[in-house]
């Protein structure tokens, strides 16, 4: 579970593309829209974004092509210099870092995986995975030991001496993930890492990714344009449009309570019952507790479908992971989610 400790904090962040962006931003009237900025000859890659990401959280950023999601993530690591606002990593303003300190931050705290695998074709799996450690100047024996460890972690044991051309697309992506993990990053940026894979391998990679996150507890920013993928992976989802964040919330709340017409359009074809959990529909206990076995807070409404249809109680107790009572769920409200009435 994510903690409440903030790892990345963005405050009123802008990234404008154009001839003199800093000067333009300084004189720009408040509330200028994406289209109006465009008419002035600039593109708002990131449009006044304020966002906090907590330790151990998996934040999925999604939106259509050109919505600004990759630009925003590149701002997090200062691969893009922002035009305005501040970005802090562990309380440190990264815009104020020297080149040396910025390189140290990236090498020691940040791992990055992109859609293109970027593997070195004339190096083996093990050599590719050890490469960032080599760049860090780590001892040959130590980097080999660490590379062997993460190769095993991502399920490629026995393929250490293979070259990239001898691997499938899914295996190549695992090498990219292992390489980014080799430096033991606190923060992990992944930009559409599975989008080039066929559906079956993509699903396997998602399973593998969830397993790794369960083991390692990294702070992760994951970019995708696939809403099903976002729902499966995210603690929170940030939906972007024209460089701005339309809504940032849990998957349950995104589908139950879309904040804007744009978000509603994103969610209209999603089967809510497979996303919404019983714990989200639970109301505080107010005196009377219904008799009978409670439903688990972590179960989706779809998983509870048979019980909801067969049960005769108007209200159902909801229990947390340890069996403790956390609230009462109205059965009709749950049925409305199941049957599409809500």
| Residue 278 domain flag | yes
Average pLDDT, the chain: 90
Max avg pLDDT among 9-13, 137-141, 144-148:
9-13
Pick from 325, 327, 282, 331: nearest CA to 310: 331
Burial 107-126 (b: 16+ CB within 10 A, else e): bebbbbbebebebeeeebbb
Question: Taking residues 180-186, what's their average pLDDT?
Answer: 84
Which tokens belong to 289? 């507790």
Question: Taking residues 292-297, what's their average pLDDT?
Answer: 90
Host domain of residue 318: 273-339
Per-residue pLDDT at 53: 97
Question: Taking residues 252-279, what's their average pLDDT?
Answer: 92
Indicate if the pLDDT at residue 115 is higher than 70: no
Instruction: Return the higher-pLDDT residue of 242 and 198.
Output: 242
Per-residue pLDDT at 234: 94
Per-residue pLDDT at 22: 95
Question: Taking residues 144-173, what's their average pLDDT?
Answer: 89
CA distances from 304 to 16, 102, 255, 307 (A): 48, 49, 18, 5
Please write the tens of the pLDDT for every residue from 270-291. 899 999 999 999 998 877 777 8
In percent, how much of the chain has pLDDT > 90?
Answer: 62
- In this prediction, residue 132 has a pLDDT band, given cuts at 50, 70 and 90, of confident
Per-residue pLDDT at 305: 94
| Residue 143 domain flag | no
- In this prediction, residue 113 has a pLDDT band, given cuts at 50, 70 and 90, of confident
Total of domains in the chain: 1
User: What does the chain come to in residues?
Assistant: 342
- In this prediction, residue 266 has a pLDDT band, given cuts at 50, 70 and 90, of confident
Indicate if the pLDDT at residue 99 is higher than 80: yes
Per-residue pLDDT at 1: 54
Please write the tens of the pLDDT for every residue from 196-230. 777 877 888 788 888 888 888 889 999 998 888 99
The pTM assigned to this predicted structure is 0.86
| Residue 316 domain flag | yes
| Residue 292 domain flag | yes
| Residue 288 domain flag | yes
Question: Taking residues 176-205, what's their average pLDDT?
Answer: 83
| Residue 322 domain flag | yes
Question: Taking residues 170-180, what's their average pLDDT?
Answer: 86
| Residue 216 domain flag | no
The CATH number of the domain holding residue 283 is: 3.10.580.10
| Residue 324 domain flag | yes
- For residue 8, report the phi and psi dihedrals to the nearest 5 degrees: -120, 130
In percent, how much of the chain has pLDDT > 70?
Answer: 98
Question: Taking residues 93-98, what's their average pLDDT?
Answer: 96
Please write the tens of the pLDDT for every residue from 46-82. 999 999 999 999 999 999 888 999 999 999 999 999 9
Q: What is the DSSP letter of 291?
A: -
CA distances from 341 to 65, 92, 147, 251, 305 (A): 32, 47, 52, 18, 14
Per-residue pLDDT at 2: 62
* Rounded distance between C-alpha atoms, residue 289 and residue 68, angstroms: 48
């Amino acid at each position: 579970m994510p903690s409440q400790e903030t790892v990345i904090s963005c405050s009123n962040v802008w990234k404008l593309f154009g001839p003199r962006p800093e000067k333009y931003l300084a004189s720009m009237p408040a509330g200028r829209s994406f289209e109006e900025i465009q008419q002035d000859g600039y593109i708002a890659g990131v449009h006044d974004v304020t966002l906090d990401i907590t330790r151990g959280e998996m934040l999925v950023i999604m939106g259509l092509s050109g919505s600004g999601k990759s630009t925003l993530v590149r701002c997090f690591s200062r691969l893009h210099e922002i035009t305005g606002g501040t970005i802090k990593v562990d309380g440190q303003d990264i815009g104020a870092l020297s080149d040396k300190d910025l390189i140290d931050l990236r090498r020691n705290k940040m791992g990055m995986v992109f859609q293109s695998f970027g593997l070195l074709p004339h190096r083996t799996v093990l050599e590719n995975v050890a490469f960032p450690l080599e760049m860090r100047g780590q001892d040959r024996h130590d980097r080999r030991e660490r590379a062997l460890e993460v190769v095993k972690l991502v399920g490629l044991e026995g393929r250490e001496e293979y070259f990239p051309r001898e691997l499938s697309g899914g295996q190549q992506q695992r090498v990219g993930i292992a390489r980014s993990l080799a430096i033991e990053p606190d923060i992990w940026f992944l930009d559409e890492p599975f989008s080039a894979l066929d559906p079956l391998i993509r699903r396997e990679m998602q399973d593998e990714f969830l397993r790794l996150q369960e083991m390692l507890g990294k702070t992760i920013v994951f970019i995708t344009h696939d809403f099903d993928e976002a729902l499966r992976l995210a603690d929170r989802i940030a939906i972007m449009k024209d460089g701005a964040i339309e809504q940032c919330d849990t998957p349950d709340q995104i589908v139950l309570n879309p904040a804007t017409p744009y978000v509603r359009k994103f969610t209209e074809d999603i089967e809510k019952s497979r996303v919404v959990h019983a714990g989200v529909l639970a109301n505080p206990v107010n005196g009377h507790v219904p008799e009978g076995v409670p439903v688990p807070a972590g179960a989706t409404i779809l998983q509870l479908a048979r019980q909801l249809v067969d049960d005769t109680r108007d209200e159902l107790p909801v229990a947390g992971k340890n069996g403790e009572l956390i609230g009462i769920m109205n059965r009709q409200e749950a049925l409305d989610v199941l049957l599409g009435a809500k």
